[in-house]
Amino acid sequence: MAEIRLKNLAHSYATDPEHTTDYAIHEMNHVWEQGGAYALLGPSGCGKSTLLNIISGLVIPSHGSVTFDGVEVNDISTQDRNIAQVFQFPVIYDSMTVYDNLAFPLRNMKVLESEIDAKVREVADILELSDILQRKANNLSADQKQKISMGRGLVRDDVSAILFDEPLTVIDPNLKWKLRRKLKQIHERYNITMVYVTHDQLEASTFADKIALMYEGKIVQFGTPRELFENPNHTFVGYFIGSPGMNLLKMTLSEQGAELGGITFGLNAEQRALLQGAKNAELTLGIRPEFVQLSAQQNEESLPCTIQHTEDLGTYKIVTVMLGDHSIKIRLDEEQQIPTQDAYLNFPNQWVKFYADDYLINSTEGEATSE
Amino acid sequence: MNKTQNNKAWFLVLPVFLLVAFSAIIPLMTVVNYSVQDIFDQNSAYFVGVEWYREVLQDPRLQDSLMRQFMYSGSVLAIEIPLGIAVALMMPTRGAMASLSLIVLAIPLLIPWNVVGTIWQIFARADIGLLGYVINGMGIDYNYANNPIDAWMTVVLMDVWHWTSLIALLCYSGLRAIPDAYYQAAKIDRASNWAIFKYIQLPKLKGVLIIGILLRFMDSFMIYTEPFVLTGGGPGNSTTFLSQTLTKMAIGQFDIGPAAAFSIIYFLIVLLVSWLFFTTISQLDKDKSKEMSHES
């Protein structure tokens, strides 16, 4: 059980890093609270696995420190950190039975055989492995193997956190949700800090209470799935979360409002005040496809657009329209009619976000939030 | 079951059948032919049945060299397999040193057998050879030409020098195929180095070790050139192995009948041991799959 704190942590695989591009992890401060279920979400190569390996001690950070409950663990080896880690591909000891696999960490710690037996059976019960305890582990299916690798972390009483490195990659889609629910259950039962690395937003939001979204070696936003969806504080968060991602339109500020490549979007006083503070930066207007309104009737604030094409996904439709030079995606319900001739867009004010140099211009402070 | 009768299909098998017949079956049959006849010249051959087989199996010379052969293959395997694994484990995994050690290990494998024999013939000589001279210099009386034990050890040492590389290279490739995650998981599970070897590395090496052991068994069981060049089978008959005894019998004494009978027995022994070994290993896998189909 532990609170994991990253202090001024940065990491470079280069021995002598000079440029910021040499860093896999840019300097960050972050806290994973005891007992939380967290997801570390980001595209491939953003540094999320590196960060995970730094926590478990498989990678030693080049800068800054990692503390568990206030104790610095930089110099403590993986073996002694009381961390369990589940890897992308299930790691099992082929030559052993399922039982021996689960007992392995305890035997390495010289725990009494009677205690081992009790613990192994308890964990096997939770993971639904009781029926196959005496079978050789190497002929099992991928999901069972992955449960074994998880189980090896759970049998240990001293484990302070379990780290998951994209553990469901090799699992059949129809079994994924089952294992994910199992993870949730385990989390509730053992109250262990869990950090789950994934590039799948659905996996992240179903597993985690809070998601840390990583981009180019930085955690760009840390919040609940809903916060990430409704209030992305970086254009990348907007783009990455949601399906399809946020519409991001390059804009400039003028007397009339926001210039979106030939089209002017009228600003209200509040928005204008917000943008005044950041007029020298590169500005972007962002709006989620879910919040764009499409209609055949023109009104004062609507913007004329031309419909490009419609994708019907069964439960909803994605309409692509051209607004000036910008292509905009709109997510509509199945039953909603798509205008055949003239089409007009409305951007409801509360869902329009403005970004200065990719960071959200925060409405309360009136300035760009920097990390 | 309804099988389609199509006799033309036999023509498709014919080329393979002919190839195998000419390359393996017909030559083998001529040996079988010699082994059941007593031939004096082209016109006088007598069918003797299993007479030669009986004689050969009772021949103490052959029994002795068969024993020596088993001992030789046994000791060669007992040294080369563990040593090869150990070398593979100690080899650097990346960088220039890795390439260098691969090249160094490959060198013995590239040397022709009779050259290996010659190298050791000179290297181990007590008067001018580096190895023999040094051993004698340390006060140990060593001479492979006179002492059967010395000769025996030299022959084994030569084979270890020549072929341990093969096992090491096979194991090295096997070890490189183990994903990093296994070692990381073992670290997290607090496995000792011995446990890592026993539960991760050794099981993953099983495949290459099967190949390695089979190759080394067959090769060492048929060894001829190196001991022939090094010791000529002596002193006495102490390093005369099966193939050398056979050659003496067939070419030296021109006992074609017994030599043919013995060739057949020799061939069957190699076949039998290899088959036993192979089925034992594959049987292990089969048991597991049976277990699986049973439960699922």
Per-residue pLDDT of B220-241, as tens digits, reads 988 888 888 888 777 877 888 8
pLDDT at position B169: 94
CA distance B158 to B124: 10
The whole-angstrom distance between B281's CA and the closest CA on chain A is 14
pLDDT tens across A192-202, in order?
A: 889 999 988 88
Whether A78 and B200 lie within 8 Å, measured CB to CB: no
Specify if A239 maps to a domain: no
Q: What is the mean pLDDT of residues A17-42?
A: 84
The whole-angstrom distance between A90's CA and the closest CA on chain B is 9
Same domain? For A109 and A185 the reply is yes
CB atoms within 10 A of CB A3: 17
How many residue pairs from chains A and B have C-beta atoms closer than 8 A? 63
Same domain? For A220 and A284 the reply is no
- CA angle at residue B194 from B188 to B200, to 5 degrees? 65
Please give the residue of chain B at the shortest CA–CA distance from A165: B181
A298: pLDDT strictly greater than 50? yes
Neighboring chain B residues of A135 at a CB cutoff of 8 Å: 291-292, 295
Task: Indicate the domain borders of chain B.
Answer: 64-280
pLDDT tens across A134-154, in order?
A: 888 888 888 889 889 888 888
Full-model pTM: 0.74
Same domain? For A226 and A249 the reply is no
Residues found in chain A? 371
- CATH number at A322 reads 2.40.50.140
pLDDT at position B102: 92
- CATH number at A58 reads 3.40.50.300
Q: Given A202, A230, A258, which residue is the final one in a domain?
A: A230
CB atoms within 10 A of CB A360: 21
Q: Report the number of distinct structural domains present in chain A.
A: 2
Same domain? For A104 and A208 the reply is yes
pLDDT at position A46: 86
Q: Of A1, A61, A72, which is closest to residue A26 (Cα–Cα)?
A: A61
B281: pLDDT strictly greater than 80? no
Whether A109 and B204 lie within 8 Å, measured CB to CB: no
Specify if A236 maps to a domain: no
Q: Of B269, B169, B176, B178, which is closest to residue B221 (Cα–Cα)?
A: B269
Specify if A208 maps to a domain: yes
Neighboring chain A residues of B190 at a CB cutoff of 8 Å: 79, 105, 108-109
Residues of A near B (Cβ–Cβ under 8 Å) read 56, 58, 77-79, 83-85, 87-89, 91, 93-96, 104-105, 108-109, 132, 135-136, 138-139, 149, 152-153
The whole-angstrom distance between B186's CA and the closest CA on chain A is 9
- For the CA atoms of B22, B24, B25, B28, the dihedral, rounded to the nearest 10 degrees, stands at 120
B290: pLDDT strictly greater than 50? no
Neighboring chain A residues of B295 at a CB cutoff of 8 Å: 132, 135
Domain assignment of residue A307, given as a range: 245-368
Q: Given A230, A259, A278, which residue is the final one in a domain?
A: A230
Q: Is A314 left (phi over 0), alpha (psi -120 to 50) or beta?
A: left
Q: Given A230, A263, A283, which residue is the final one in a domain?
A: A230
Whether B199 and A87 lie within 8 Å, measured CB to CB: no
Same domain? For A150 and A14 the reply is yes
Neighboring chain B residues of A157 at a CB cutoff of 8 Å: none
Name the CATH superfamily housing domain B64-280. MetI-like (1.10.3720.10)
pLDDT at position B289: 44
pLDDT tens across A113-131, in order?
A: 888 998 899 888 888 888 8
Whether B203 and A149 lie within 8 Å, measured CB to CB: no
Same domain? For A50 and A198 the reply is yes
Whether A108 and B291 lie within 8 Å, measured CB to CB: no
Specify if A235 maps to a domain: no
Same domain? For A96 and A168 the reply is yes
A127 contacts: CB under 8 Å, gap ≥ 6: A147, A148, A150, A151, A154, A182
